[in-house]
């Protein structure tokens, strides 16, 4: 069973083909960094227009590079939500139209379920049940995963997600878009002992997050040390990164203690952060918990995770029922239908 996956939830156009026998066959991603960089952040209308220009040519290129024909595709999976409504509509319209033209089933996939399942594309895979830390764009969530589709939300961000806080703080530091990776790079030059930022909501029970105040603390620190020299900027970046990493690690440790699982999955763009990976592995290893995450190219938005999630649901007999389609910009993952165990 070969599934075409289409991801257009935000500022990257991703397409891929997943084969149930051979695994991932082909994967292409077009980044919109150059489109949004002059504005310092994602402009929704520009994102939608770029998806319109790029999605079909990318699919054609994907088929050529994979050596497959349209008739080889058995199903189409597209991102239904959450995400930017205009961007989602492009992928949904293309996905449903292709499925109709090729006479194959289609299914709308939850973007965050795609991220959650991305580690299953790797050779080392978690054993169910496990806890997932999802740190992607506007989402920071801890989820208990009993099986595919059977999810229990343990905690989430009450304001800014970790990725948003990274990007906003990077912008305050004058770093180029996209800010998160640039802040992490600057933090490598910082002195970890100069500033100590708070670890928000770790002094109370619970698994929710809050990063908005951390961003404000960083701004106040910058204002206290104006004009900023290069070393001070690096020291602030390091203090901010350490605070986010420690907060995520503390909450993950609580989550595995509460659920008594032996595997933790980390996925989403922030999961590519080197310091977060190292500290999470070190701390959870003490608890006998193995930490798993996808390769860096599958941490950010991509079609491979959508194709894989689509295969899981299509082979279970699920698919879009009628000729119409809808997208769901806000969509709790706990509303998904669990897949029946074989």
Known binding-site positions for Fe cation: 111, 115, 301
3-state per-residue secondary structure call for the chain: CEEEEEECCCCEEEEEEEECCCEEEEEEEEECHHHHHHHCCCCHHHHHHHHHHHHHHHHHHHHHHHCCCHHHCCEEEEEEECCCHHHHHHHHHHHHHHHHHHCCCEEEEEHHHHHHHHHHHCCCCCCCCEEEEEEECCEEEEEEEEECCEEEEEEEECCCCHHHHHHHHHHHCCCCCCHHHHHHHHHCCCCCCCCCCCCCCCCCCCCCECCHHHHHHHHHHHHHCCCCCHHHHHHHHHHHHHHHHHHHHHHHHHHHHHHCCCEEEEECHHHHCHHHHHHHHHHHHCCCCEEECCCHHHCCCCHHHHHHHHHHHHCCCCCCCCCCCCCCCCCCHHHCCCCCCC
How far is the C-alpha of 170 from the C-alpha of 14, rounded, in Å? 26
Report the binding-site residues.
Answer: 111, 115, 134-138, 167, 180, 273, 301
Q: From the CB of residue 37, how many other CB atoms can be counted at a distance below 10 Å?
A: 12
Report the binding-site residues for substrate.
Answer: 134-138, 167, 180, 273
């Amino acid at each position: 069973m070969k599934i075409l996956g289409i991801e257009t939830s935000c500022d990257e156009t991703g397409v891929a083909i997943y084969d149930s026998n051979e695994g991932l066959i082909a994967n292409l991603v077009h980044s919109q960094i150059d489109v949004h960089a002059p504005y310092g952040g994602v402009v929704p209308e520009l994102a939608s227009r770029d998806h319109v220009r790029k999605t079909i040519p990318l699919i054609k290129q994907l088929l050529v590079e994979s050596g497959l024909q349209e008739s080889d595709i058995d199903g189409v999976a597209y991102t239904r939500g959450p995400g930017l409504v205009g961007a989602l509509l492009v992928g949904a319209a293309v996905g449903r139209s292709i499925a109709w033209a090729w006479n194959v089933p289609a299914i709308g996939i939850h973007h965050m379920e795609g991220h959650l399942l991305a580690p299953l594309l790797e050779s080392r895979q978690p054993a169910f049940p496990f806890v997932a830390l999802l740190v992607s764009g506007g989402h920071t969530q801890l989820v208990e995963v009993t099986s595919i589709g059977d999810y229990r939300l343990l905690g989430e961000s009450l304001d800014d997600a970790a990725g948003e806080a990274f990007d906003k703080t990077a912008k305050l530091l004058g770093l180029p878009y996209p800010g998160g990776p640039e802040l992490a790079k600057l933090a490598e030059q910082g002195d970890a002992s100069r500033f100590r930022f708070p670890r928000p909501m770790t002094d109370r029970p619970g698994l929710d997050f809050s990063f908005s105040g951390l961003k404000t603390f960083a701004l106040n620190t910058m204002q206290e040390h104006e004009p900023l020299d290069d070393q001070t900027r690096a020291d602030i970046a390091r203090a901010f990164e350490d605070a986010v990493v420690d907060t995520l690690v503390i909450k993950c440790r609580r989550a595995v203690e509460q659920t008594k699982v032996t595997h933790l999955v980390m996925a989403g763009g922030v999961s590519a952060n080197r310091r977060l990976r190292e500290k999470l592995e070190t701390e959870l290893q003490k608890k006998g918990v193995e930490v798993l995450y996808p390769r860096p190219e599958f941490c950010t938005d991509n079609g491979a995770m959508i194709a894989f999630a689509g295969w899981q649901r299509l082979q279970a007999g699920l698919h879009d029922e009628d000729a119409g389609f809808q997208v769901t910009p806000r969509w709790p993952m706990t509303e998904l239908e669990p897949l029946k165990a074989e």
